[in-house]
Amino acid sequence: MPDTNGIALGKEISKFSPRSKLVLFTMENSPTVVKQALESRFFGFISKSVEREILIKTLTSVGNGEKNIPSIKR
C-alpha cells in the first residue's frame, strides 16, 4: 500500500465499521507494531512468516470474538 499502512487503514475501517474484527497481517513483528495494533482496535496480529496452522488458529479465534495478539516482548 504505497499511500498508507495497515495500522492507518485499520483505524479508518474501524470508524466506518466499528463491529469489524480486524486482523493485521504484516511482515513487521516488532513490539511497536504489536502495540499499535492493540491501540488501533485490531483483534488479531499475524506475521506473514507464520505457519499455516497458526494462521488458521488466529483467524478462527478472532472469528469467535477473541483477541489474538501476541504479548509484547521487551
- pTM exceeds cut of 0.85: no
The ranges assigned to domains in the chain are 6-63
CATH 3.40.50.300 fits 6-63, yes or no: no
Assess whether pLDDT exceeds 70 at residue 16: yes
- Angle in degrees, 0-180, between the axes of helices 6-16 and 31-39, rounded to the nearest 10: 10
Using CB atoms within 10 Å of the CB of residue 62, give its burial: 0 to 12 exposed, 13 to 18 middle, 19+ buried: buried
Q: What is the pLDDT of residues 23-73, one digit of tens each?
A: 998 888 788 888 888 888 899 888 888 889 989 998 999 999 998 876 554
